[in-house]
Amino acid sequence: MIKQSLTGSSWQFRECGQSPKWLPATVPGCVHKDLLNQKRIPDPFWGTNELQLQWIEERDWEYRLQFTATDALLREEVRELVAEGVDTVARVFLNGCEVGRTDNMFTGYRWDITPLLRKGRNELRVVFTSALKYIRANQSRFKAPVEFSDPVGGHTLLRKQPCQFGWDWGPRLVTCGVWLPIYIEAWSGNRIEHVRVSQTHYSKRDVSLVFKPQMRRAERGLVFKVSVGLDGREITMAETMSGSGTFEVPISDPQLWWPAGLGAQPLYDVTVTAHSSTGEPRGEWKRRIGLRTLALERKPDQWGESFRFVVNGRPVFMKGANWIPADSFVGGLDRERYARDVRAAAAANFNCLRVWGGGIYESEDFYDLCDELGLMVWQDFMFACTLPPGDAPFLKNVEAEARHQVRRLHHRACVALFCGNNEMAQINGALQKPKYRRPYEKLFHKLLPKVVREESGFDYWPTSQWRGDWKYGNSDEAGEQRGDTHYWAVWHGRNPVKDYEKWKFRFVAEYGMQSFSSPKVQATYCTPDDNNVFGPVVENHQKNRAGNQIILDYVSRRYRFPKNQDALIYLSQLNQAYSMQVAVEHHRRLTPRCMGTIYWQLNDCWPVASWSSIEYTGNWKTLHYYARRFFAPALVTAHVPGDEYTVNGNYRRTTVDKVHIHTVCDAVEKQGATIVWELHHIDGRVLDSGHKNAVLRYGESKRQHTLDMRKPMQTYGRDNLLIRLSLVIDGVSVSENTVFLAPPRFIPLQKANTRVQVKRGGADNRFALTFASDVFQHCFQFDLAGMDYSASDNCFDLYAKQSRTVEITLNKPAQATVAEITKALGFYSLVDSYK
C-alpha cells in the first residue's frame, strides 16, 4: 500500500463567492485559525472579540490544495482519498469533479478517486457550507423540547462538536475545516480494512490475542502473519491461512496492563500483515495493545447495586476529572499539547478521565498517553444535554459514526466504558412523553449498545447520570443505591459545601466549584484596565450565568473580604480547592460503597473563569495541587460531624464537638503506618498530640480514631484551634491534612515572617526552595514572576517553626541563577488576602 499525505501548509482558502484571492491555510486546522494567521481577524480570545467574530459562522468557505501525485501512487490499481475528519458540511472535489459529501465531523470518509487522479498537477477542493445555514434549512425535521447550553438553537440536527456553539465554560466559535489528517491511499489486489482484536484471559499466566481481519475484497488463500513484541523485542510470531477468518495467538509470559498506581503499563507492539497465496502484499495493521480485563460490575449488594470497575480481577476506585476539548479549535492539536494536561492528571494521582459528550472523540495522541500513563477513559458518545432527532437518516449517520469510533478505539487498554450521552435522561423531563422516549431509546438503548457489542468488548452505559432503569428515577436517594450521579446542588443550587457529605452515592461522575482565572491568565486576554471581574471583558470570559456572583457567594461564606482583586482570585481558587477536597475525601471515605469520584473539570478550552483545575495556559490552579494530595494512594482524612450556624441576632452557634480520623488506601501492598494528630493553638503552641499504629489494606476505608473536642473548645475557643493530621509510612509523611473547627474567616491568623532558602538542584533548571515560618500559614502559595516552571508542591499549609522544601523545574527560561530565582520569588497565604 502506498500513502501520500495531503496535510501541511500548502493549502489555500477563501470565502465562497467573495474575494477571488486565495490565502495561505494549514490542514489540519480550521477557518478561524487560518483567518487569524493571515491577520484577517483579531485574536478570538482577547477581550470581547468573540462577540464580533460570529459572522464567520454565517459564511461559506472553500479550501484547495494543488499537488502532484507520485509515480508510485499512480502505478497502483486503486487510489482512494481518505479524510479522517471534516468539520462538517462540505462537498469535496478533485480536478473539478465531485467525489463526495460530508455531514458528520466524527466519522472518517473514504472515496475512490482512481479515474480522477492524474499524472502531473491535481487540485483538491473542499467547499464548506455554513453550519448555521444547514441548521436553519433542517429545523423542520426536529425541534428539541428544551435546548440546554445551546445559545444558537438546533445544534443537535448536525453531527458536530456541540460545545462549538457555546457552553457554560466555552465561547461560541462555530468553525469549519479539515480538522484531521487527509491523504491518498493506493493499493492493488486487496487490502486490510480492519482487524478486530480481542483478548482471552484463561488465567493470569495464560493469555491469548484473538484476531479477526476484515479485507476489502473476498480472496481465497490469504496468509496472515502476526508479530507481537514488547520493549523492542519480538516475543511471538505466528502465521496462519485465512480459514475461518479468526485466529488465536498465545502470549508467552503475559505482562498485564494496570491503571496508574496499581502496576505497570506494558504495551505490546502488534503487527498483522496479509499476503496472497502467491506472496503479494495485501496490507499491514499496527497497534499497541495492553493485556488486561476491564469490566463494569453491577451486582446486588447491601446498599442496592454496585457500580464499580474491575481490572484484572481487582476492583478499582476511580479517581479523576472530566475532560473537555483541549482548545476551542481542535484541528491540528499536537501530542505536546495533550501531554501537558494528561501528564498533569497522572502527576496528581489520577487513574481516570471522563471524555465528556459535548466535545469530540479525542485524538490518537490523547489515547496513546492514557494507555502509557494508566489513565482509564470513560468515553461518552458525542451527545450532551439536548435531545437529538430520531429519524432514519439521522440514525444511519450516527451508526456510521459509532462504528467508526468504536472500531478505532476497540483495542485500547485505557478505554473502560462507552456511555451513550451526557445528562439527557437526567434533565429532560420531556422523555416522559412517548414521542420523545421512543426515539431516545431507539438510539441510546438499542442502536449504540448494539454497535459497541458488535465492534468491541467494552461495556456500555446509556447515559450519565443513570440508575440502570427508568423505574429508579433520578433522585439523589436513588443514587445512594445504584448507578452514577451528577451532583450539582452545590454550585448550581447554591447549597452549602458540607452538603456533599449528606449523600452516600455509588459513583459520582460530575460535581464542581468554579474559580476565577489566575492573574497571569487574565493578562492573556485583557489589559489591567479591563480586568475588573464585573466588567464586560472578564464577564465575557465567564460563561455560566451568574457565575461570578456564585463564586463571591461561596467565598463570602468562608473567607474574609479580600483587600484587592488578586486576593479575591486567590480566595476563589482556595474555596474551589477546599470544596473539591470536602467532596473527594467524603467519596473516598465511603469506599467500597462509593467506587468512583470524577470532578468537573480538568482543563479549559480558552482562558475563562470555570470549574477547571488546570487553566488554558497549563497553569495549575490551587485545586490541582490539592488533587495531588486528596487523590494520594494512602490518605489521612477527617470527618467533622455537625456545622456552624447562626441564630436571631446573627449569633454564632456550632454543633461540632468531635473529629473522626479516617484512613483510605488504594496502594496495592498491605503496609504498616502511623497516624499522628496534633492539636495546635493558632499562636503556634502544640496543645496535645497522639498517634496510632495501623495496617493499611487495599480498597479499605477505616475510621481510626475520634477526637473529643468539647473540652479544648471550651478552654481555648474553637476559632483558635486547628488539628494537624499526618500519615507516616517508613518514617515519611505520605499524607497530611489540616482541620479547622470554624470557618477561616473567624480564625485570628497572624501575619508571618517567612524565611526562604534557594539552592540549585542537579541541573541548571532545577532548584530547591525551602520555606520556614514563625506562625501557621494556611494555603501558602509561591510564584516565580515571569517564569514558566513546574513544582513538586504548592498551596500547602506551612506550620510554625517547621520548614517545607519544594523542588522546581524551569521550563522557560531554560536556566537561571539562584539570584534570579530569589528575585522572581513571591509568596502569599490566606492572611495576606485581607491584612
Name the domain boundary from 746, 773, 804.
Answer: 746
Which is nearest to 746 in space by CA: 769, 778, 789? Answer: 778
Query: What is the percentage of the chain residues whose pLDDT exceeds 90?
Result: 92
Are 699 and 612 within one domain?
Answer: no
Task: Answer whether residue 200 is part of any domain.
Answer: yes
Are 611 and 491 within one domain?
Answer: yes
The H-or-E segment that residue 796 falls in is strand 796-798
- CB-based contacts of 153: which residues, under 8 Å, 6+ apart? 135, 147
Which is nearest to 324 in space by CA: 166, 158, 522? Answer: 166
Q: Are 787 and 816 in contact (CB under 8 A)?
A: yes
Are 589 and 653 within one domain?
Answer: no
DSSP-assigned letters across all residues of 187-250: ESS--EEEEEEEEEEEETTEEEEEEEEEESS--TT-EEEEEEEETTEEEEEEEEE-TTS-EEEE
Name the domain boundary from 167, 186, 205.
Answer: 186
pLDDT score recorded for residue 764: 85
Which is nearest to 303 in space by CA: 468, 479, 461, 511? Answer: 479
Is the pLDDT score of 742 beyond 80? Answer: yes
- CB-based contacts of 669: which residues, under 8 Å, 6+ apart? 698
- CB-based contacts of 457: which residues, under 8 Å, 6+ apart? 198, 199, 410
Q: How confident is the model at residue 148 (pLDDT cuts 50, 70, 90)?
A: confident
Task: Answer whether residue 519 is part of any domain.
Answer: yes
CATH number, residue 97: 2.60.120.260
Are 93 and 155 within one domain?
Answer: yes
Task: Answer whether residue 257 is part of any domain.
Answer: yes
CATH number, residue 596: 3.20.20.80
Are 538 and 602 within one domain?
Answer: yes
Task: Answer whether residue 163 is part of any domain.
Answer: yes
Is the pLDDT score of 146 beyond 90? Answer: no
Task: Answer whether residue 412 is part of any domain.
Answer: no
How distant, in Å, are the alpha carbons of 143, 386, 438, 466 from that of 389? 8, 10, 11, 21
Are 198 and 179 within one domain?
Answer: no
pLDDT score recorded for residue 151: 65
Task: Answer whether residue 390 is part of any domain.
Answer: no
Are 170 and 143 within one domain?
Answer: yes
Range of the domain at 60: 2-186
Task: Answer whether residue 244 is part of any domain.
Answer: yes
pLDDT score recorded for residue 238: 86
Is the pLDDT score of 218 beyond 70? Answer: yes
Are 471 and 349 within one domain?
Answer: yes
Are 333 and 364 within one domain?
Answer: yes
Arithmetic mean of pLDDT, 421-432: 88
d(CA 254, CA 206): 7
Is the pLDDT score of 150 beyond 80? Answer: no
pLDDT score recorded for residue 243: 57
- What is the dihedral sign for C-alpha 769, 774, 775, 776? positive
Are 210 and 273 within one domain?
Answer: yes
Question: Residue for cell digits 470527618?
Answer: 639
Q: How confident is the model at residue 244 (pLDDT cuts 50, 70, 90)?
A: low
DSSP-assigned letters across all residues of 498-540: GGGGG---S-EEE----BPPPHHHHTTT--GGG--TTSHHHHH
Q: pLDDT tens, 300-352?
A: 999 999 999 999 999 999 999 999 999 999 999 999 999 999 999 999 999 99
CATH number, residue 234: 2.60.40.10
Is the pLDDT score of 738 beyond 80? Answer: yes
Name the domain boundary from 603, 631, 659.
Answer: 631
Task: Answer whether residue 542 is part of any domain.
Answer: yes
pLDDT score recorded for residue 245: 78
Are 231 and 177 within one domain?
Answer: no
Is the pLDDT score of 89 beyond 60? Answer: yes
Greatest Cα-to-Cα distance within the chain, rounded to the nearest angstrom: 94
Are 224 and 358 within one domain?
Answer: no
Angle at 694 between CA 693 and CA 697, to 5 degrees: 160
Beta bridge partners of 236: 228
Q: pLDDT tens, 530-577?
A: 999 999 999 999 999 999 999 999 999 999 999 999 999 999 999 999
Count how many domains the chain has.
Answer: 5
pLDDT score recorded for residue 111: 99
